[in-house]
A and B are shown apart, each in its own frame.
Chain A
Amino acid sequence: MPRVSVWILRVALIYLGVGFTFGAYMLANKGLNFDPGAWRLLFPHMELLLVGWTTQLIVGVAFWIMPRFSGSEKYGKVRLVWVSHALLNAGILTVVAGGWIGSNELILAGRAAELLAAVLFAIYIAPRVKPLGGQAAAQADQTE
């Protein structure tokens, strides 16, 4: 597994744990009603699990298993993925903070960062969506 995927997947796992913790707190509160403010966690819970965990897991696994290039830089423009990773996580944390304090401006800024991260990742991964190995893959490399 390449180092980039290790980073992305471990960050995703942290979001999974924290997202489950928020969800469990709200679910227990729904049963026992010990904290009237528990529902403030709903928005961060959804953001952490849908974008932080599920989306980031897909990104990390895609970087790992998609067909590589045949040249010396077999993973291509890896810097794009690091920038995308940083932007996505800055976006997630900003959206979570915005949801927590009820600031639409922060949520908007976070979503914009996530959008930019998605565009960068799409630009990076598109050339790796190609035939796996052999002559067809080498030809696909040359046409990129």
Chain B
Amino acid sequence: MPRLTRYFIKAALVYFVLGLLVGVLLVAGSVIPVPPQVATLFPVYLHLLVVGWITQLIAGVAYWMFPKYSKESPRGNERLSWGVFILLNVGLVLRIIAEPLVSGQPGGVMGWLLAVSAVCQLLAGWGFVFNIWTRVKER
């Protein structure tokens, strides 16, 4: 298993646990007192699971298992793949920090952080598409 795949999968596992932890927090309010700000974590909860866990796991396994690009560079552009990993995770962490704080009050530093998060994830998404595209092939 390539090193980058291990990074993708281990990071995905962290988001999996974090996502379920936030899921517990979101419903804990009916049993124990939790700060009202916890309710703003719902979009973070969803994206921890669908981006951090599922998409990242898919990216890591695809990088490992999809047909080789060529003999010389079997996994395509490795630098781009590392860029995807870094941008996806920076984008997601920025979202986790900024989204609950910006909730209902756009603008300011947190608003801009959220915009940076969006750009990071957008670049990561298209970077993954471009890099894996050439490895989706018959031979």
Contacts and interface: CB of A to CB of B under 8 A. Distances in A.
- The answer on A and B forming one complex is yes
Interface of A: 1-3, 5-6, 9-10, 13-14, 16-17, 19-21, 23-25, 27-33, 49-50, 54, 57
Contacts, number: 85
Contacts of B132: 13
Interface in B90-137: 95, 98-99, 102, 106-107, 110-115, 117-119, 121-122, 124-126, 128-129, 132-133, 136-137
Contacts of B111: 31-33
16 contacts: A1-B137, A20-B125, A20-B126, A23-B118, A24-B118, A24-B121, A27-B99, A28-B115, A28-B119, A30-B102, A31-B98, A31-B102, A31-B111, A31-B113, A32-B106, A32-B111
Interface of B: 50, 54, 58, 66-67, 95, 98-99, 102, 106-107, 110-115, 117-119, 121-122, 124-126, 128-129, 132-133, 136-138
The A contact surface, by secondary structure, is helix
Given A13-B129, A16-B129, A28 B114 contact: yes
